[in-house]
Structure 1
Amino acid sequence: MKKMFQRVTILSIAAMGFFFLSPMEIAFAAQDNNYENTIQLIAHRGSSGHAPENTIAAYDLGFEQKADYIEIDIQMTKDGELVSIHDTTIDRTTDGTGSVGDYTLEELRNLDAGSWFDQSFAGEKIPTFEEILDRYRGKIGILIELKSPGLYPGVEQKVANTLIERNMDKPNNHKIVVQSFNHDSVKRFHDLLPSMPVGVLVGYGQADEGKITDEHLEEYAEYADYVNPNKELLDQDTVDRIHQNELKTWPYTVVDQEWVDQLMEYGVDGIITDYPELMDFR
């Protein structure tokens, strides 16, 4: 049975040692106190409509635009280090070619991950998982996608260990969610850290003729806290059934105001978007 994601309130902070928290952590927890009443804004690969995806520049901008979470894609290098990059190859978003897993961390860090987007971002680096956690912990939530985990045996354990080393495996301390299209990988991670909230990403290939069925939802509810589908797989009935199974839903990837309005009408719990400013009205 899954353990539901518990949220920190100001009163519980006091009980656990309020005066030992930094001002940033106190403010972060106070913001999180209103979580259940606020639709969550997730900056997809950072503010990737305005900066090169999965770079510190994009994550910083997502933070500046007051996103509740940044979404990051995690893969593993040839020498077993965790890095944030979306594609399993480096061709599209760097000045290199080949597969992520064929490069060491040092080799990947020597690549330019910004110029492809705009020359003003020349020199941006592929960030490490540790760098991201250390930079944003206590400042913004982090939605971690395990990208193509079948290519990287043991990646779930490495992600879990990295969180444990930083005392970030306690959901009351940090807003961390782990998700993947590979649902077996999500289950493995859940078994490692059962108190950490996890989500299943759902694309057309995982739906039944374009529909997320009751059978799907009953299965997901056994271990997951979130069902995060392609936005076009949602309608009012599907959102209602997700909630009836005590799950939340953060659909992806929204790039226009029309979809924001439609999804809010459905009553989704969060929206994953390349353009955080679409939700400035919150």
Structure 2
Amino acid sequence: MTQARQHNIQVVAHRGASEDAPEHTLAAYKKAIEDGADALECDVRLTADGHLVCVHDRRVNRTSNGRGAVSALELADLAALDFGTWKGREDAAESPDWGDPSLTSVLTLERLLELVADSGRRIDLAIETKHPTRWAGQVEERLLHLLGRFGLDAPEAADDSPVRIMSFSARSLHRVAAAAPNIPTVYLMQFVTPRLRDGRLPAGARIAGPGMRIVRNHPGYIARLHRAGHRVHVWTVNEPEDVELCARLGVEAIITNRPKQVLSQLGRL
């Protein structure tokens, strides 16, 4: 892993240390911070009463003991659910305290921002807006308002921003870029459309976010993105051979469920 050690790759904890603890819970993010992750990734959705919560799926059925769409539930409804026990406790040997309901209840973005602010070191945030949504541009509006409360909505320079906003929706990123031009934006991709094959990105997007399948099948695309002047943040990178490939291609960030293992492979632990 000589090349990986030479290249300064940011290690981003995908939904927290989500291999070891239930995704998007305080337990997962505390574990990621303990493991030394450089950044935390989260998805955000808007509840029926206007709160941003960290939930990936449109519905809560998979990751809680409840049912229903996040957008149709109020925060109090979500707070009554268990977002932890769906994941086998044998997977949490290193986190015996996630039997504590406060660590596995629904996590608001506000609480996650507080955790990062109290961490004592710089930890970046990669926040993904989920689409399509019944709330249209309200997600971005509420997100930027909340970032403003923490002084994170207007960094002096994009390259020094501790927050970036990601989306598969070019329209979402365009809204963010128009309202907060110094917050970096990441265009997430499951596949490469013909008009983007030369390395260009949609208007408003500054960083490319290809999935690992793209990187495996089209490694030359990463070079085209770099030649076009874009940084590359790859998701979701869990296997050692994929970490090695990303390092060899010179990507700037690896988004992974296994931050501790990736940091170790990169020679940083």
Pick from 8, 23, 28: which aligns with 1:58? 28
* Matching residue of 1:218: 200
Deviation at 1:149, TM superposition (A): 4.9
* Matching residue of 1:168: 152
In structure 2, C-alpha distance between the alignment counterparts of 1:164 and 1:208, rounded to whole Å? 34
* Matching residue of 1:253: 236
Task: Assess if the C-alpha contact under 8 Å between 1:75 and 1:149 holds in 2.
Answer: no
Q: Does 1:71 pair with 2:41? A: yes
Matches within 5 A, 1:98-109: 98-109=68-79
Matches within 5 A, 1:1-282: 38-119=8-89, 121-122=98-99, 123=101, 124-137=104-117, 139-153=122-136, 154-172=138-156, 174-204=161-191, 207-208=192-193, 212-214=196-198, 217-220=199-202, 222-234=203-215, 235-276=218-259, 277-280=261-264, 281-282=267-268
Task: Assess if the C-alpha contact under 8 Å between 1:178 and 1:199 holds in 2.
Answer: yes
Query: Secondary structure of the residue that 2:200 maps to in structure 1?
Result: helix
Query: Secondary structure of the residue that 2:113 maps to in structure 1?
Result: helix
Between the two proteins, the alignment pairs up a number of residues equal to 241
Q: Aligned AA for 1:197?
A: P
Bigger relative contact order, structure 1 or 2 (CA pairs below 8 A, ≥6 apart): 2
Unaligned ranges ≥5, structure 1: 1-35
Range with bigger deviation, 78-87 or 138-147: 138-147
TM-score under structure 1 length normalisation: 0.80
Range with bigger deviation, 37-46 or 70-79: 37-46
TM-score under structure 2 length normalisation: 0.84
* Matching residue of 1:18: none
Mark the CA change 1:39 to 1:265 in structure 2 (over 3 Å): closer, same or farther: same
In structure 2, C-alpha distance between the alignment counterparts of 1:71 and 1:104, rounded to whole Å? 23
Q: Aligned AA for 2:182?
A: S
In structure 2, C-alpha distance between the alignment counterparts of 1:118 and 1:191, rounded to whole Å? 43
Q: Aligned AA for 2:107?
A: P
Q: Aligned AA for 2:174?
A: K
In structure 2, C-alpha distance between the alignment counterparts of 1:49 and 1:225, rounded to whole Å? 29
Query: Secondary structure of the residue that 1:80 maps to in structure 2?
Result: coil
Percent identity between the two aligned chains? 30
Task: Assess if the C-alpha contact under 8 Å between 2:13 and 2:258 holds in 1.
Answer: yes
Query: Secondary structure of the residue that 1:151 maps to in structure 2?
Result: coil
Q: Aligned AA for 1:188?
A: R
Deviation at 1:219, TM superposition (A): 3.8
Deviation at 1:126, TM superposition (A): 1.1
Mark the CA change 1:56 to 1:139 in structure 2 (over 3 Å): closer, same or farther: farther
In structure 2, C-alpha distance between the alignment counterparts of 1:149 and 1:56, rounded to whole Å? 26
In structure 2, C-alpha distance between the alignment counterparts of 1:132 and 1:149, rounded to whole Å? 23
Mark the CA change 1:104 to 1:86 in structure 2 (over 3 Å): closer, same or farther: same
Deviation at 1:254, TM superposition (A): 1.2
Unaligned ranges ≥5, structure 2: 1-5, 90-95
Task: Assess if the C-alpha contact under 8 Å between 1:202 and 1:230 holds in 2.
Answer: yes
In structure 1, C-alpha distance between the alignment counterparts of 2:242 and 2:196, rounded to whole Å? 19
Q: Aligned AA for 1:74?
A: V
Q: Aligned AA for 1:193?
A: A
Q: Aligned AA for 1:208?
A: T
Q: Over aligned residue pairs, what C-alpha RMSD do you find?
A: 1.9
Task: Assess if the C-alpha contact under 8 Å between 1:179 and 1:199 holds in 2.
Answer: yes
In structure 1, C-alpha distance between the alignment counterparts of 2:140 and 2:88, rounded to whole Å? 33
Query: Secondary structure of the residue that 2:222 maps to in structure 1?
Result: helix
Q: Aligned AA for 2:60?
A: I
Deviation at 1:90, TM superposition (A): 0.4
1:238-274 deviation digits (Å, cap 9, x = unpaired): 1111111211111111111011001111111111111
Deviation at 1:160, TM superposition (A): 0.5
In structure 2, C-alpha distance between the alignment counterparts of 1:166 and 1:103, rounded to whole Å? 26
